[in-house]
Structure 1
Amino acid sequence: MFIQIYFYCWYGQDIVLKSIEISVSYYLTNWYNAYSSNVRTYLFLFMERSKRPLVLRAGGVFPLTLSTLMSILRSSYSYMAVLQRLNKK
């Protein structure tokens, strides 16, 4: 089960990073020197949209990133430690 969650979070993080790179690559195209005003307008709109990175969400609530994976691991370890402690008593 951990492997499945790991892959979802890994690729979710990859999508976030790639969407940030797209924003930078739009700016580096010298969009302001484009021949057509339509091209300039579309590139400007794409740049504005890409200011907010694309984030995959589990159930529309939790972002699928590596920080989410780490919080899942911390929580599950804490729960396991509590249950082991209760089981010893």
Structure 2
Amino acid sequence: MTGKPACQSWNLLFLLTLALLTGCAHKSATTGANCYAKAVPTAGEGGLAWGSSLSIAKQKSLNNCIRYAGRSGGTPSTCQVVLAECKK
């Protein structure tokens, strides 16, 4: 009897996670985020982002680069967009 509630909680957690992932995938597919940009610093981790326009994708990737470069011990002030495109 003691194993049954734990099993049920894992099943509930799995279903909740699956529902959240499915919801996120559906949301991104319908928002029209067809542009992407990649920004990198001279040291540390860069950032990739999607957006509904090229300018939004660039700004998001710069923000991500600044955040990730700072966390990885890099140089956030040197982030630059190196790639930006929109799907046709």
Please report the TM-score for the alignment, with normalisation by the length of structure 1: 0.37
* Structure 1 or 2: more helix by fraction: 1
Please report the TM-score for the alignment, with normalisation by the length of structure 2: 0.37
* Structure 1 or 2: more strand by fraction: 2
